Chains A and B, each alone.
Chain A
Amino acid sequence: MSLVSMTLAAEGTPARERSAASRRARFIRPALGLIVPLVLALAWEIVVRLGWSTGRLAPPPSVIFQTFVDLARTGELQRDTIVTLSRVAAGFALGAGVATVVGAATGYSPLLRRLLDPSLQALRAIPSIAWIPLFILWLGIFEASKVTLIAVGVFFPVYLGLMGAIQSVDRKLVEVGRAFRLSDVEMVRRILLPAVLPAYVISLRSGLGLGWMFVVAAELMGASEGLGYLLIDGQQLGKPAEIIAAIVAFAIVGKATDWLIALAAAPFLRWEDVVRSE
């Protein structure tokens, strides 16, 4: 068989067959992720039903589910989730926005980097909780201090990630830009930003994760609504089921927001030449 006809034969594998298999795989893969939590939940339910544990401090899934239903019925769950979600969203938008501008500037300009980076690194070392008293003093106990705290949390991973990514852009590609006489702005827009997009998306997801962490800190320190408030409320009223329900809510909503970023970024990252771990 000639090389040409062998190639044609290989490419002739019915495309329908291959895409059907990949469609099946796309449903199976997320389903696989649910197996471990479901098995553990089931096991715990059985342990409590059989009486091996009172299930008082660690309520079984059925009780937690019931708590969810009760909270949803009074509307508390929805209200708290939306409040926390909007705090994270506002803080994320603020922190990621500022970090993108500052990170792009320090990544591109060595002078700006030498001016700003040392101070920013010093600020990064301050633990999140330490900011709380200061922000409450400056910005009050309501939304402003919380959103600012979340923004601070989101800022650093995005800033570091973007700055580092810009500095690591392949010199060979930058030279192509120089050979085509791109201006500074064009260089950033047409070569640097697309080149750093994968690393930038990762830094955004990392920032979002930190944002969720910081929202808990913010809400633990004085809130009257939100999932963090639900957490404290459960603790003070001695309702472990409420605590765990709040934690589960955090897990679900946090994962959902991360998934949203990955989904939104996916079409812009189709060009990547890497081993796909999806």
Chain B
Amino acid sequence: MLVLDHIGKTYPNGVHALGGVSLEVELGEIVAVIGGSGCGKSTLLRAIAGLDPASEGRVVLDGERIGAPHEKIGIIFQEPRLLPWLKVADNVGFGLNGRPKAERAERVSAALRRVGLADKASVWPRELSGGQAQRVAIARALVPRPEVLLLDEPFSALDAFTRTDLQDHLLDLWADAKPTLILVTHDVDEAIVLADRITVMCPRPGRIFDEIQVDLARPRDRQSAAFDFVKRRVLAALDRSLNRAPIGPGEEQKADEGAAMWW
């Protein structure tokens, strides 16, 4: 289980990016973190990853405190960030350096087949399209079999078609080993398609504003009424989070009339 215990982050220049975020994530759960700009979602993710450790609070994974990048935690960024001097297969195998060559080759080719890029193993990263490169990045992150996979707006740089394609693909890959996924996104549809739980954050300082369970059966139909209902709840919560309207203990979470664009 991944436990975030009152995570706070203040940057050296004084910016108070996160103020007391607490969250418990079960193994195998998919949690989406969504919120307006400046609400600290990426900061939170990087704190969990250990890239920018929190200034207050603790990140605990399976009882072990996380303060630096850990082998059980993988991360995927908004850009594919493939190493341009390595071919695709070498990029995918990058995290497996300590392993014997045969094992590495086997796991790499299995991963490439899984993301549908087996024929691109000997290709340079510069020859890949955006969607293909991001798939290679996903393969690279999944190959070391992490327990927790963090995704920082992984599909926001891609076009709508590729995005929906990769969302479905990600669920497919997740079903293999069922790692815990924590996904930061600003695409509400993406959050609802993928997540078991959607955490809405609000800014200044970043903290959790609301949590919405998504109890729909997978595969989720983007056109269904149930999907739409959840979407309205999320959009309403986002609206309220940005108005910084305090939400009282007994207040009902009702969708506002005509809750539409939240930015």
A181 CA / B97 CA spacing, docked (Å): 11
Given known pairs A180-B94, A181-B69, the reply for A194 and B83 (CB within 8 Å) is yes
CB neighbors of A among B106-133 (8 A): 124-126
B85 in the interface (beta carbon within 8 A):
yes
Q: Is the CB of B83 within 8 A of A179?
A: no
The size of the chain B interface, using a CB distance under 8 A, is 21
Are A178 and B69 in contact (CB-based, < 8 A)? yes
Cβ of B75 under 8 Å from chain A: yes
Give the size category of A's interface with B: 10 to 19
| Cβ < 8 Å to B, chain A residues 235-278 | 270-273
Is the Cβ of A179 less than 8 Å from the Cβ of B74? Answer: yes
A175, A180, A186, A194: the one within 8 Å of B85 (CB): A194
- State the total of A-B contacts with C-beta under 8 angstroms: 45
Query: Are B79 and A172 touching (Cβ within 8 A)?
Result: yes
Q: Is A69 interfacial (CB-CB < 8 Å)?
A: no
A173, A179, A271: residue with the most chain B Cβ atoms closer than 10 Å: A179
- Which residue on B lies nearest to A197, using beta carbons? B85
- B81: contacting residue among A176, A195, A270, CB under 8 A: A176
Main secondary structure on B side of the interface with A: loop
Contact of A175 among B51, B97, B125 (CB under 8 A): B51
Q: Is B174 an interface residue (CB 8 A)?
A: no
Q: How far is the CA of A172 from the CA of B74 in the complex (A)?
A: 15
**Residue pair A273, B126 in contact (C-beta under 8 Å):** yes
Known: A271-B124, A271-B126. A178 touches B81 (CB 8 A): no
* Residue contacts A-B, CB under 8 angstroms, 14 given: A172-B79, A172-B81, A176-B83, A178-B51, A179-B51, A179-B74, A180-B94, A181-B70, A186-B97, A194-B83, A194-B85, A195-B85, A271-B124, A271-B126
In the complex, besides A271-B126, A273-B125, 13 extra interface pairs with C-beta distance below 8 angstroms are A172-B79, A173-B81, A178-B69, A179-B51, A179-B74, A180-B94, A180-B95, A181-B71, A194-B85, A194-B86, A271-B86, A271-B124, A271-B125
Listed in ascending order, the chain B residues whose CB lies under 8 Å from chain A are: 49, 51, 68-71, 74-75, 77, 79, 81, 83-86, 94-95, 97, 124-126
